[in-house]
Structure formats: C-alpha cells, structure tokens
Amino acid sequence: MNLSLTNVCKSFGRGSSAKLVLDNINFQVNSGEFVALVGSSGSGKSTVMRLIAGLDTPSSGSILMDGVPVKGPGPDRGMVFQRYSLYPWMTTADNVGFGMRLKGMAKPEVQERTNYFLNVVGLAYAADKLPKELSGGMQQRVAIARALAADPKVLLLDEPLGALDLQIRESMQEFLYQLWSRTGLTALLITHDLEEALLMAQRVHILASNPGRIVRTVEADLDRSNLSHLRVSPEFLSLREDLAQCLRGLSQELVTSS
C-alpha cells in the first residue's frame, strides 16, 4: 500500500476572495508505517485529512492510493474521528459490524470479524452494551474496531484522542501503538499534540499555518518498548523540545505577520 500526496494545494472561495489553505503538500505513507501530521489550529491538517478521505478535492496536485487517484470516500480508507460517532441505539457489536453489513458481507463473516476485532481492542466482554454504557476511551476503541473491521488499507486518525481526559488519553496512546505493533496496520494521525505524535509515529511532519505547508519532517527513531519510560527519556525530551521550539517560532511568525 502506498498513499502519496504530490504538490497538493487547496483554496476556498473564488477569484480575489479565494483563500489558500494548503500550499504544496508533499508526503507519502507506505504499507505498515505510522505517520503523523502536527500543527496548530489553522494549519490545514484537518483539510489534509478530508482530502485523503475523499470528502473534498484538491485545487491542484494529486492524491494517489496505490497509484490510483482518490476521487471520493472508499473502503480502502478507514476514518476515526475525535468524536466517536457511534450509533447510540446499536450495541457495541452492531456498531463494529455496521460497515461490513453495508459492504454486503455475509452474516457469518460479519460475526466472525466482529468478534475478532472486539478481541483485538479488548472489548469482547462489552459486545452487548450500548454506547451510553461505555467510557469515552471504550467508545473510541469501538470506533477503531469498526474502522479496522472494514479492512481498510490505511487508518486515518483525525485527532482521535482529543476529547479524552489525560489518564485515558495516555492509556489510549499505549493502546494505539500496541495495536499498530501487533497488526502491522498502516496509519496516518493528525494532531496538535506534539508529544502524542512522537510517542506513536515513525515519521512526523510539522505544518505551518496560513497557508498550511510542511516546514519540517523528522524520522522519530525511538525505542517505544515502554511508552511511560520513553516520555521521560532524555532523547525523547530533547526531540520534543526541539520541535516545540519550531512550533513556537511558527506561532511567533504568524503573530508578527498578522
């Protein structure tokens, strides 16, 4: 699997009122990689995700999945949003199986894959519970299971942990990283949280604002065997501070130019 963005630009509006929100975005995600885009509000990271998901189209440039242009939403891209978007009247199992049923999978296959992915995310015991009976972290795991069950080529994570409190957020970061390690899934994460990106992603792209553009890319070659230890390791803290200074500099440039 290869997802590639080449010279992607996006403007909103027409003529003299057009506003450029993305300027020459170039990056790729290869099979089995975990890649992150980090930027503040206004950097266009959510717009990038919408373009990849096929919910919007670039003004120029190309987005390819295995060499085929992205023309709209498709089952090759599984999306997980900040808000869990579970159907409140459906059980956990029914939520996980929803996408597979839409694809017309046979009932036995839907049941088998539902059971498998509930086990993967550690929620087999909650198969018959409604979303209101689950914690925020559990609901997000259901949303991830639902996306994975549809067998996408790449998992698109749109700030999936942003609505969680700190303790649950840290446990979910561990969960997502372990899930990636065990399954070899391909994932693209967008977040404003630099630490979160460095904890999980092998490659981190830093986005500047107005217009959104990649100004720095870091290969985060870190020992992730224990994320709790990694958070306080000198190597991690040094890299985080280096990139934090980069983000602070971008914010100052934005203030100065406005």
CATH number of 2-76+152-257: 3.40.50.300
pTM exceeds 0.75: yes
pLDDT for position 256: 57
**Residue 172 pLDDT grade (very low, low, confident, very high; cuts 50, 70, 90):** confident
Helix (H) or strand (E) holding 141: helix 136-149
> What pLDDT is stored for residue 251 in this prediction?
67
* Residue-level pLDDT at 51: 97
Q: What is the pLDDT of residues 73-118, one digit of tens each?
A: 988 999 888 776 899 999 999 999 998 998 889 999 999 999 998 9
Work out the pLDDT band at 248, boundaries 50, 70, 90: confident
Place 58 in a pLDDT band, splitting at 50, 70 and 90.
very high
pLDDT in tens, 26-37: 999 999 999 999
**CA–CA separation, 60 vs 20, rounded Å?**
11
pLDDT of residue 247: 84
Order the strands of the 77-80 sheet from edge to edge.
77-80, 154-158, 187-191, 34-38, 203-208, 213-219
Q: Residue 140: which pLDDT band, with cuts at 50, 70 and 90?
A: confident
Q: Where are the domains of the chain?
A: 2-76+152-257
